[in-house]
Structure 1
Amino acid sequence: YKFDAFVAHDYDDFGWIRQHMIPQLEEGRNFRLCIGERDFIPGSQLEEVIVDNIRNSRKTILLLTPKFIQSEWCDFELAMSRNKLFASGRDVVIAVILKPLPVGSINGRVYNVLKSRLYLEWNPDDIHAQELFWAKLTDALRSGQTLDLTDSSEIREDA
């Protein structure tokens, strides 16, 4: 694979990716992330670029926010990631709740992802929780499974 993970996200969250995710995962742990704002070639057909980059990534990290889960891109990137899951037989989706999702705002596809696997939640106010978040995300990126978890308060089994 060319990338360890394709990062599916809303454009408004690129600042968080640049401030937190790139330093932690690429600079600190030597993962290679595919981030559209940086890695997509301008002028290409966006849908084709997304499909190619998901295909060339071991995992897909879904950065879920209220705005992103309402977008057509969330549905498209999730559908392409799930196609890869079915084709490869491996669980390739890592769900991260970056911002709280209001009750009633979660569509069927996102709901199924959150109900069918463990997911991580970002806590902007708790340094200890952030350290655990990065450790668990690192484990998920390294493993053949989505997550191998035990006792973390910011990792939930239910939506």
Structure 2
Amino acid sequence: MTVPAHRRPGRLMEGFPALGWGEPMASEFDELFSRMNELLASAAATGPGASSPLADMHETEDAYVIEAELPGITREDIDVEVDDQHLRITGEYKKREREGILRRSTRRTGRFEYRALLPTSVNAEEVKAQLADGVLTVTVPKSQSAKPRHVEITGG
């Protein structure tokens, strides 16, 4: 996967003929490219030899919920880290001890890593993770500033 070159703020429109967009539009493109670079970097960030588990992320009014498929993994073999806008789930599929000769194997072994860039700031102190039936469910509450707030309109 190719990650776009990093651009310096205010340099995106340099060298292009004036399109009548002005500086505000150029700064919006700079911000868009910056977010795209973060997203692509997080998607390409799995380490060498690491796989990424299948996962879904959906948003509720109060939180982001990530459900990752991790069959056969114990909770001691999983690490979940969250900061302001990033989620990282890492661990290892361990080889099973067996008797006899292994004739065929299609099961994964080795390190895995799942990374997600969350769209808004989150409350990292209130994150909850639960492992049940081979599915890790991580609930990441949104920060108070990220939640929509209803504003009452008064007569004037």
| Range into which the TM-score falls when normalised by the shorter chain | under 0.3
Q: Which structure dedicates a bigger proportion of its chain to helix?
A: 1
Q: Which structure dedicates a bigger proportion of its chain to strand?
A: 2
**Quick check: which has more Rg, 1 or 2?**
2
TM-score by length of 2: 0.23
